[in-house]
Amino acid sequence: MSTPMAPPDPAKSGPAPGRAAAIPIAKESPAATAAARIAERLRHQPGALLPILHAVQEELGCIPADSVAPIARALNLSRAEVHGVLTFYPHFRTQPAGRHVLEVCRAESCQAMGAEQLAEHARRTLGCDFHGTTADGAVSLEPVYCLGLCAQSPAIMLDGQPHARVTADTLGRLLDRAAQDSGARP
C-alpha cells in the first residue's frame, strides 16, 4: 500500500513543472538612469568617457558608484576602466560636494607665493583635508592645479569665483560671506 504524498510547497520546490522561474528585475537607481541617458547621448563623441563623466557630475553633483556600470556598458568598457579614470582625475567626486566648494591652487607659482600655508590654514579652519567635506556638509576642500592667476598668486576659487592674492584673513572673510549668503556657517 502506498502512502499519499502531500502537495508540494511552492516556496520550497520552485516553479511548477513546465514553467520558467521568474527572474527578478533590478530597478535602476535614478543616478544609473541619468548616467545611462547621458552616456547614450554622448557616446559617439571621440574620447567620450571624459565628457560623459563631466556631464554626469554636472547633473548629479557627483558620480555615484551605481552610475559606473551604465557608462561602461554604453562605451563597451569594463567598470574597472571607468573607475580608473574616475579616480585618476581629482576633479571628479564620488560623493556629493558640500554647499560650498573651496579650491586652493597647488601650481608652482601659487606654491612659491604661500599657497601651502594657505592650504594648511584652510585644512585647520575647515577640519578636513583635500577631497574632504566639513562634518556639517558646508564646505568641500579641493586642490586645483592652476587657476590662471599666476601673476596674482596665491589663488583660490570659491563656488566657481576666482580670488587672487588670497591671505588667511581674506580666506576667512570669503568663507564667512559664503556662510551668510547660504544661511549656514561653513
Do residues 73 and 106 touch, judged by C-beta distance below 8 A? no
Task: Answer yes or no: is 62 a known binding residue.
Answer: no
Which grid cell sits at 155?
589663488
Task: Answer yes or no: is 128 a known binding residue.
Answer: no
Using CA atoms, how far apart are residues 80 and 92, in angstroms rounded to an integer?
A: 16
Q: Annotated binding site: which residue ranges?
A: 105, 110, 146, 150
Q: Annotated binding site for [2Fe-2S] cluster: which residue ranges?
A: 105, 110, 146, 150
